[in-house]
Structure 1
Amino acid sequence: MGQDTARQRLIEAGEELYAEAGVGRVRLRELNALAGVRNDSAVHYHFGSQDGLLEAILQTHLYEIGARVDATTAILCTGRDGSPEALRDAIAALAIPFAEKLRDERGRRFIRIVAQVWGRIGDWQQQRFIPSSALAMDLIRRSARGLPAAVLEERMWLITRFVVSSFAARAENQDAVVDGIVLDEFVYDVVGMATAAYFAAPPEGGFWPEKWPAVREG
């Protein structure tokens, strides 16, 4: 582990255990054992609770990512009019800083944790930790404004989850890479798929193909 303090050791132990076992499935004694702390109340002392430890893990990495998002959104999003190319660049501005975490083990564990908690713990939102991400999200909205508002918001939610989940899948097993696709190619491909998803035809009157069976209820 890195810096040898009880707090830092607990953060790194949390990264490992939450990534491998899953958030909400780790016991305090497991955290303490891996961190090498003897005080049973160490997590409460340093973080208040396991939720506090989880937030500290997120903040540890998102502080670094936030600085990179500031830079990428300034380059790719500032002063842009909405367009398909601008939409793709906005996705890339958000995706690239997260993808850089895939280059080392701690970063890969962080990505796996993020995929578990994205939007599911309290009011955890990307913009809470990375305010500059709002610039990229605004550009996405302006670039896809032909979509009905409800459809656009749902796609933004689902497509963001797709990108994060794709990175987590890559993080889980670095050896399971199809045809040896390198990281830059992988990120470019994920951004391309995410961009294309915004331009799929939205559901409108009479949208259901006649040959499709109806979705069953119950």
Structure 2
Amino acid sequence: MARTSAGHETRERLLRAAEELFATRGVAASLTKDIVRLAGQSNPSAVQYHFGSREGLLDAIMAARQERTERALAPRLPTLAEQDLPGLLDALVTAEATELRTEQGRRCLRISAQISHNSGVRTRTPHPTLAGGGYWRLITLVEQRISGLPEPIRLERLDLALTLIGAALADRAQQYLTGSTPLTDEETFLADLVAVSAAMLSAPTPSRSTS
């Protein structure tokens, strides 16, 4: 039992250290040896032992972050199919924004914004952390609301909108982490993010220049 408890504690230390470094230095610039050192571990193979690889550690962080978002989204799932585009985006943004409430969540927003291209939206192949969840169902419903757009534009625009939302929340998270004073209160910020995202997604298809 003691060994199991110690292993759980080591795993948690590695997760917290990785969250800190991925959020502050960036995912690409954070070395495994630095994560191990910050976690207070003497075994250089600790990440490999507990997570299989550095990528496995990152996936574990994002899976836990997605579980929290799924729980926040759950109360709105029964009515999602009835929502228009702004309503769906409000559900998405509101669920994502719950991460702003804690320091861990703020760090995770900083991390997920760096890897938003891995979501699988453009190919309709969800990342394993998104597959089968309410969040992916929500993304699918958002796409349905803009079904009048040509498919390539629709998928690209949806991916870009999600990237915008992630970047905006990551920026807000950084302001909270550094103690900066945002220009707007959180309610206004989130409402504006929904409005901007809806406008981006529902914009008409551009006409080709004839010049």
Listed one character per residue, the Cα deviations across residues 48-79 of structure 1 (whole Å, up to 9, x for unaligned) are 1110110111112211211222322323x13x
Structure 2 SS opposite 1:194: helix
Rounded Cα–Cα distance in structure 2 between residues aligned with 1:171 and 1:201: 32
The equivalent residue for 1:208 is: 209
- Structure 1 residues without counterparts, runs of 5 or longer: 211-218
Larger radius of gyration: 1
The superposition leaves residues 2-59 of structure 1 with CA deviations (integer Å, 9 ceiling, x where unpaired) of xx81100100000000011111211222112211111111111100111011011111
Q: What aligned pairs does 1:48-127 form with structure 2 within 5 A after superposition?
A: 48-75=52-79, 77-78=80-81, 80=82, 86-120=84-118, 125=127
Aligned pairs for 1:17-56 (under 5 A) are: 17-56=21-60
CA distance in 2, matches of 1:126, 1:158: 20
Would you say the 8 A contact 1:66–1:130 is kept in 2?
A: no
TM-score normalized by structure 2?
0.84
Q: Which runs of 4+ in 1 moved over 6 A?
A: 121-124
Structure 2: stretches of 5+ with no match in the other structure: 1-7
Change (3 A) 1:167 1:40: same
Instruction: Give the equivalent residue in structure 1 for 2:152.
Output: 150
The change in CA–CA distance for 1:70 and 1:182 in structure 2 (over 3 A counts) is: same
Question: Identity over aligned residues, as a percent?
Answer: 29
Look up the equivalent residue of 1:27 and give its one-letter code.
Answer: L
CA 1:21–1:127: 2 relative to 1, 3 Å:
closer
Name the CA distance, whole Å, in 1 between partners of 2:40 and 2:24. 18
Asked whether the 8 Å contact 1:141–1:152 carries over to 2, the reply is yes
Structure (1 or 2) with the greater helix fraction: 2
Contact kept? 2:106, 2:173, Cα under 8 Å: yes
Q: 2:14 aligns with which of 10, 27, 31?
A: 10
- Please identify, of 121-130 and 161-170, the stretch whose mean Cα deviation from structure 2 is larger: 121-130
Residue type at the aligned position of 2:104: R
Superposition RMSD on alpha carbons, in Å? Answer: 2.4
Contact 1:63/1:129 (CA < 8 Å) preserved in 2? no
Matching residue of 1:215:
none
Q: Could you tell me which amino acid in structure 1 is paired with residue 206 of structure 2?
A: P
What is the Cα deviation at residue 145 of structure 1?
A: 2.1
Distance 2:210 2:76 in 1: 41
What is aligned with 2:5?
A: none
Q: Secondary structure at the match of 1:128?
A: coil
